[in-house]
Amino acid sequence: MQAILLVGGQGTRLRPLTLTTPKPMLPVAGVPFVTHQLARLAAAGFDHVVLATSYRAEVFAAHFGAGQNLGLRLSYVTEAEPLGTGGAIRNAAAALHPGDELVVVQNGDVLSGHDLAAQVARHRATGAVATLHLVTVEDPRAYGCVPTDEAGRVLAFHEKMPEPVSDQINAGCYVLDRAVIDAIPAGAVVSVERETFPSLLAAGAVVTGVVDDSYWLDVGTPAAYVQASVDIVTGVVESPAYTGVPVDPSAVVDPSASVVGGTALGAGVVVGAGAVVAASVVQRGVRIGAGAVVTRSAIGAGAVVGDGRVVTDAAIADSATV
């Protein structure tokens, strides 16, 4: 099986962290976020993954190479200009080896424990041209919603609305017939969510939704990004990519400091006397001063948190001093 991972977005909601590092490469529980997705794909039996890159494309291949450490073959396809989700899928498909009728496509910013094999099996069983993972959320107003009938057939794709007709939302993982991808115009900016899927419905094609309410988190915002790392470290969700060691061995934590609540510390981090670091992601080379209190925050590489400073629910830029 082959998959395409969409990793080319600008990650604007995660600025300033994404000014230097693309969202899928931000550290989560000690490894770049997308490592968790790649490890899950490898565990599910995928052998080839194409990374559809655009923003800061070069960092992906520099880190993952040909994929040998993950037991996968990785290819990289870069858009000269970002083509949106649909355009990126079409562009990346050029690197798939031909012959597979099905392709799995995932957004590169979703941490999910859902049963991918079941989603693929459902696609095969229903004869749909596209099978989408859907999740139910308490407040769907912030998302486009995707109502289905009793048989799971998608009825519509609605944009955000004040009174959503369903609490089901698109979870960013699709099984697509290769023909669906080949029908996307080459070289054009296309949104798979807003253009490709609605036009399939308009043409009378069968699009199926699979509701799976296992762990799911879209790491689009600083709070969700920090939560993803905490959830892996504290075991709320399992990842085959997590080493089980949230504090890099080269970090130096004063014996009187507390590092708690699922915090992950990167290489070379120094935590001073009496400091408390709770439920946070601290990237490599950060210095946290004596008596500082850092809670539910993401601290960018090389940043300095001064003695006694209190940082709560914050996203601090690389090399910043607070």
How far apart CA 45 and CA 187 sit, in angstroms, is 31
SS3 of residue 85 by DSSP: helix
Of 67 and 84, nearer to ligand GTP (C-beta) is 84
Stretch that binds ligand GTP, among 25-33, 52-60, 68-76, 204-212 (CB under 6 A): 52-60
Residue 253 or 314: which CB sits closer to ligand GTP? 314
190 touching ligand GTP, by CB under 6 A: no
Q: Coil, helix or strand for 69? A: helix
For ligand GTP, which stretch binds (CB under 6 A), given 83-91, 160-168, 262-270, 305-313?
83-91
- 107 lines the binding site for ligand GTP (CB under 6 A): yes
Q: Which residues contact 69 (CB under 8 A, 6 or more apart)?
A: none
| CB-nearer residue toward ligand GTP: 32 or 108 | 108
Closer Cβ to ligand GTP, 224 or 253, answer by number: 224
Catalytic residue among 63, 97, 124, 160: 160
Candidate list 60, 109, 131, 263; residue touching ligand GTP; CB under 6 A:
109
What span, in angstroms and rounded, lies between the C-alpha atoms of 271 and 116? 40
Strand partners, 278: 260, 295
13 lies in the binding site for ligand GTP (CB under 6 A): yes
C-beta of 146 vs 286, nearer to ligand GTP: 146
Exactly one of 3, 7, 103, 137 binds ligand GTP (CB under 6 A); which one?
A: 7
Cβ atoms of 283 and 254 within 8 Å: the answer is no
Q: Is 258 in the site for ligand GTP (CB under 6 A)?
A: no
Task: Tell which residue, 302, 39, 279, 296, has the closest CA to residue 288.
Answer: 302
What x/- string results for residues 61 through 80 when contact with ligand GTP is judged by CB under 6 A?
------------------x-
> Which tokens hold the place of 157?
């794709």
Q: What angle do CA 130, 133, 138 make, to 5 degrees?
A: 140
Choices 3-11, 134-142, 207-215, 225-233 (CB under 6 A): range interacting with ligand GTP: 3-11
CB 18 within 8 A of CB 24: no
| CA atoms of 193 and 92, how far apart (whole Å) | 17
CB 89 within 8 A of CB 175: no
- Interface with ligand GTP, residue 12, by CB under 6 A: yes
How far is it, in rounded angstroms, from Cα 82 to Cα 96?
19
Size of the site for ligand GTP (CB under 6 A): 23
Options 8, 32, 140, 289; binder of ligand GTP; rule CB under 6 A? 8
| Partner residues linked to 21 by β-bridges | none
Contact predicate 292/305, CB 8 Å = yes
Contact with ligand GTP (CB under 6 A) among 72, 88, 146, 301: 88
CB of 23 or CB of 287, closer to ligand GTP = 23
Report the largest interatomic distance among the alpha carbons of the chain, rounded to a whole angstrom.
Answer: 65
Minimal distance in Å, beta carbon 86 to ligand GTP?
A: 9
Selected binder of ligand GTP within 2, 3, 4, 23 (CB under 6 A): 23
Query: For residues 35 and 109, is the Cβ–Cβ distance under 8 A?
Result: no
Residue 160 known to be catalytic? yes
Q: Is 54:88 a contact under the CB 8 Å cutoff?
A: yes
Q: Which residues are at the interface with ligand GTP (CB under 6 A)? A: 6-14, 23, 52-54, 79, 82-85, 88, 107-109, 220
Which positions are catalytic? Answer: 160
